[in-house]
Structure 1
């Protein structure tokens, strides 16, 4: 530790960084950074770290080991990037040693984890939805997976939906940016839209809405969220992530492909970490799979762009997971 460092507690360091960071980023990016650094503060509290000056490579390696037990590798990469950014800024204000940020190493990702290869396959989505349709019709998991697969919307959009946003005459759902009453969309007001579900999928949502097991909730703004928790609240983005990952575990609707049992599996049970399942699929993976499926079903990219609230450039770069042969088949069907 350098003698030139000025003492700074983790809490004050995070507050200072967030104040510096706030004017230069979008609301969503700021909230993500705030959440990721709250996890870092939790670790500092557990380790009794009261001064950022003491951070070194070995302690940062311990932080990585501590966090990797709870999240998927791609999520860990993103969380560490925010901490690394804060470490560089703390070095500039003489709170940590210069270069300590470069000692925060993220584990290598499995092949394809950063690419379009990680998506929910259409056949797997069909199998899961058929299971829920037969055994848990109108349950929370059924409604959530059906909505995300049918529409490809982001979890923030699903989180924002109220009971009153269901439009029965059109078998559609309204998605609106409402920051003044607690919910936001990634693209702000530009993300406002009506999304067509069709009678079959709309019926699943209304069955969930009317399910006696669904907690009836009115939030602090007088709104009635569609998706609710047993604690009587609107779910957070992290809660929706956990619901989706667990609902899409293969053993939820079939046999485990990894030769595990509920007792031996690290992803199941009250102490399990759902994201550790090798077959785990996140809401973003459903979105990528839904976009790919729409394209394979010959929905034009322009319509997919509007429906899923994604630019054509981003769609092609990050979401179109079709093989070259699948792309050819779609083109062939549209040739004269």
Structure 2
């Protein structure tokens, strides 16, 4: 049985264990994704986790949702640990746990089989996101040909992530009106996770790049339109369609390759690059957390890569 819910994004195919259940259970299963989860990325991840787990159970002769036991969840988690990273396993377990909590509340199943299952231990003190040295970041920005709308857009987007520590999702979610003047300075308004609104003034370089982009592409009159847009096919001009995150990732990789940067960077690299550069120049961890809109400085510390240079210096002491 296949049920399509347009608001959920991709087509959701009911797993056999759900499709064979009564209508109330099917509806409750679908409502979990439509009602209980607002973040699109979390919804997609939990959909995948639920589908994978229920297909796994069906292949092992589990015939009803109520027949799923903690042993099934634990065995699935153990299999996952040999195939994917610990954070991925923990995310999938969280999805299953939240789903069955929802089903218990809806009286579809009597208990949550994932409630007592522990995930793998995972402790992170240093982030794995590749970062650029300040010289490389400047090299990348200067290498972009800004005689085209695409070049003006790409430079402004990369600079926004570097100088404001913006997440790619928040940057791509901006409207033209989210770049505004206050106290004679350009500010940016970022719509972060959980519906949080984060506002901060622009670095002078970012201010110049945003003005060049908005004025050069004549976006000023379309205040409600997306700030970062795709390029209309065959015209070389901006469309009215927001730039997708996957396209931004491809753009970043392409621009880095053209600039001769060999580090395998992604969209998130610029957030870490900006935070590290800020801290290297005397910034405080507390201020960096506020600028990055982190709830805790522990999160900000994952982006602090100042110790990488120290480690490299020490390695070079091995003189043979």
Give the TM-score category using the shorter length: 0.5 to 0.7
* Deviation for aligned residue 1:43: 8.0
1:271-328 Cα distance to aligned partner (Å, 9 max, x none)? xxxxxxx924233x3212211110002223344333332356335543322218769x
1:230-256 Cα distance to aligned partner (Å, 9 max, x none)? 563345xxx23x244223326632568
Q: Is 1:197–2:182 an aligned residue pair?
A: no
Over 3 Å counting, the alpha-carbon distance change for 1:243 and 1:53 in structure 2 is farther
CA distance in 1, matches of 2:226, 2:155: 17
1 or 2, which has the higher strand percentage? 2
Which of 212, 232, 243 is the aligned partner of 2:240? 232
1:108-153 Cα distance to aligned partner (Å, 9 max, x none)? x9xx998424242224423322221578684322211111111112
Contact 2:130 2:264 in 1 (8 A): no
Name the counterpart of 1:223: 224
* Deviation for aligned residue 1:226: 1.4
1:47-67 Cα distance to aligned partner (Å, 9 max, x none)? xx9x8689988xx89xx8xxx
Q: Is 1:208–2:225 an aligned residue pair?
A: no
Name the counterpart of 1:121: 132
Name the counterpart of 1:294: 278
SS of match in other structure, 2:193? coil
Which of 174, 179, 189 is the aligned partner of 2:188? 174
SS of match in other structure, 1:294? helix
CA distance in 1, matches of 2:43, 2:221: 27
Larger CA deviation: 141-150 vs 317-326:
317-326
Which of 139, 148, 157 is the aligned partner of 2:161? 148
Contiguous gaps of at least 5 residues in structure 1: 177-183, 258-277, 328-336
Contiguous gaps of at least 5 residues in structure 2: 1-15, 59-63, 233-238, 312-320
SS of match in other structure, 2:157? helix
CA distance in 2, matches of 1:298, 1:215: 36
Which has the larger Rg? 2
Over 3 Å counting, the alpha-carbon distance change for 1:124 and 1:82 in structure 2 is farther
Q: Is 1:15–2:31 an aligned residue pair?
A: yes
SS of match in other structure, 1:85? helix
* Deviation for aligned residue 1:185: 2.9
CA distance in 2, matches of 1:297, 1:10: 56
Matches within 5 A, 1:1-336: 6-7=21-22, 12-16=28-32, 19=35, 21=36, 30-39=39-48, 80-86=92-98, 88-89=100-101, 92=104, 115-122=126-133, 123-132=135-144, 138-167=151-180, 170-175=184-189, 184-186=191-193, 191-198=197-204, 200-212=205-217, 223-229=224-230, 230=232, 232-235=240-243, 239-240=244-245, 242-249=246-253, 252-254=257-259, 279-283=264-268, 285-311=269-295, 313-323=297-307
State the Cα RMSD in Å.
Answer: 5.3
Over 3 Å counting, the alpha-carbon distance change for 1:209 and 1:254 in structure 2 is same
The alignment of Structure 1 onto Structure 2 pairs a total of residues equal to 268
CA distance in 2, matches of 1:75, 1:247: 27
SS of match in other structure, 1:249? helix
CA distance in 2, matches of 1:233, 1:74: 36
TM-score scaled by structure 2?
0.58
CA distance in 2, matches of 1:156, 1:91: 31
